[in-house]
Chains A and B, each alone.
Chain A
Amino acid sequence: MIFMSPYETPFYFIVFGIAVAPLGLLLFFGKKRLWYQCALTVFFLYMSFGGARYKQGIALAAYLIFQTALATAYFKYRQKHNAAPVFIIATLLAVLPLALVKLSPVLSESLSAAGFLGISYLTFRSVQVVVETRDGLIKEFGPLRYVLFLTFFPAISAGPIDRYRRFSGELFAPPGPDRYAELVGQGIQHIFMGFLYNYIIAHLLGHMLLPLVKEYVLSGGGFLGILYYMYVYSLYLFFDFAGYSKFAIGAACLMGYDIPPNFNKPFSSGNIKEFWNRWHMTLSFWFRDYVYMRLMLFFLKKKVFKSKVAASNLAYFALFLLMGLWHGITWYYIAYGLYHAAMICLTDAWLRFKKKHKDGLPHGRFTRALSVVITFHAVCAGFLIFSGFLNELSERM
């Protein structure tokens, strides 16, 4: 048996292509065999979490049992009752495994044994199901489809973060020959773009150029060196992650699923808000819907703040602090979160100012270009904090 992480090498795609071909043929003839998808899932999970990584495999299995039991129990409970404390406990329980793993450096190293590749993304999905169950949006629930949703292997390790209701719909309704033929075209296109992004551009930037730049800065490259590092790292991050998302989306297409996009030309954004609507979209939409909106609703309902602006700003800080903490309990991830929170609040203030002084401000192609350039640099500065390189630099100095 060959063990490898999703999309680790081109060879993964060969295995994937062969394994998925029968499913593709079935889909093309308008049939859907759920058992085949189950078998595929087991096979690919074993490939990624078996062998030397068997401990992760055990953690994953335990995680799935726990989350499925939790979601099933809460769904059943919600059909009859709707108490807030139960909802809060269910949500906290859904986050608990991830929180323990993330806090393991602080609490106890042994907790990290509960972790596995992709635990964050599975948690985003499970929390979503709990929240939408509470909202009464999820009307149908079954353990099998829930597990298939959580472990949808093309997107298991790094997203995109799909939505349960959307996925569930596609799970039971085959796309039909016409639609599937289109999906195959898109899938191949996505995967090959992924090759370009991830295997070629990100490799050149991250593995060839970045070490050289790093060496240059550490041997005293000064401010210009750091700037250079910032650009290379930011572009590397984009091509690496966007390429990865393209693999996931492409692979999902070949299986007949149209999962949501994760990147939409993020560096063409005119401000930070727009950036978060274009960068790691499924994650920022998740945070928007389940953190920001919930907090806003809570603040306004309970009249915690008089002004909407203050409520929104606080919600932003909570959102980005949480996102920072999610990346890891390290000062630069937290700084990264606070930085983006500050940026987005400033952006909001600027947008309000612009609205008031509509006529006084120039507006045109040039200002748009200028705002794109400024946003790009603000974003890259954030990635520089995120990279932890400043940390390394300060330790060496």
Chain B
Amino acid sequence: MSATATGESAENPLVAGLERLPVHPTSLVIFGGTGDLAHRKLLPALYNLAHEGALPERFEMIGVARREKEDEAFQDMARESIERYSRTKPDPDVLEGLLSDMRYVPGAFDDDEVYAELERTLKQFDEQAGEQLDRVFYLSTAPQFFPVIAGKLGEAGLNRAEQAEVRIVIEKPFGYDLASARSLNTEVLGVFEESQVFRIDHYLGKETVQNLMALRFANALFEPVWNRNFIDNVQITAAEDIGIEGRAGYYEGAGALRDLVQNHMLQLLALLTMEPPAAFEANRLRDEKLKVLEAIVPPAPEEVGAMAVRAQYAPGVSGGSEVPGYREEEGVAADSRTETYAALRLHVSNWRWAGVPFYLRTGKRLARKVTEIAVTLKPVPHLAFQSSGSVGVQCNQIVLTVQPDEGVSVSLGAKIPGPRMRIRPVNMEFRYGTSFMSQSPEAYERLILDAMRGDATLFTRNDEIEALWGVIDPILTAWHEDTSSPIPEYPAGSAGPAQADQLLDGDRHWRRL
């Protein structure tokens, strides 16, 4: 029986009132089990779930990767990952319990023997348990292996089980443009049903991103103004102060638009603008996100220049130290045209949002690390106070900060103490850190559990992923085809290129980083 996102199991009377919902006995297979994501995130997340008693009562894990390795060597590697990256100090008994049953299957992802060995090991687990365990295949490999692994799982008959659920989790990036995302969907859905597929975007597992829905739909305060009648514009910023950190191989083929805009930032935009879902349930939520994503009008080829800006960081100063420009980074081509900064102006063409510009910007080596959504309201229709002698009345802003300090601030006009009626903006601040005692779990902990439980609410559906690519595909194409225009530059450690200001209409300006 699948538990629902609301936490109620339809038939099990023991579930009521429990915070932790049951997860059925599961075998988890991680393809790319020795890779960086497994090392830094997945294995530590599994340990933390084990520590908190959140893993299924019967839990088995198999790592699959190309390197030849014995089970014991894989267990040693997992121990090192957990000891280094776990957010809780490992309890020796729990750690040993988790590691002792871990298995490793070496081999190429297109090798039939790998899948035969997997099947033998999974059957062994089932026999030990006296029941068929649910199976989750987690694809944490380079994206070119996604269709290969899905296809091979199908050929080996591992995509179905008679008495258990089988699910596949696919890491990002899901495709590198609209056509490849469609093709990957076709290949994966040729083997698995959509209900078995969990396309992961770890951003959606972050507490603060989910809090965006709580803020909008659990508070009557905001909904009346959440539309074109009151909102002047929205800015979504995902700024990083670091460079590419030695990941030239990945970044040269991706760029800022694919790396952050296509997934994280458009997801934030969708959650910010969608209509309230009738229930916090996978398909209801994803239906609403899809509707709003489909209402974003992608730019026509001739509009791209006016709606999107790309740039690369040049040498500059970051944190008091001189840092190289992007083209001087190790592994980056001297004539690279990969963007490290992207800014867009988008419109959501529906009744709620018609005419409201949405400005998105992201970049590396910017002045500060911050992810935020700034919703600027329209000015008051008439002002009875003179504004001389102060900065005057400014438009109210609701700023939702995703990182580093999650919270919400609302700017208000307030009277400056004194004999004259002078106004200046003040902030009303709410910080999650001061209002909640608990530590947020890592996004991967939440998402791994959800995938094992079969709850797809925080995962991306096939049509949604295509809608996300559909928004940026014309921009990618236009930038790809333009091989001669110079790529604008911005000094490392700055707020970005001056050209991005041209996206803003009227007196608007980017929020200070």
Binding between chains A and B: no
Interface residues of A (CB under 8 A from B): none
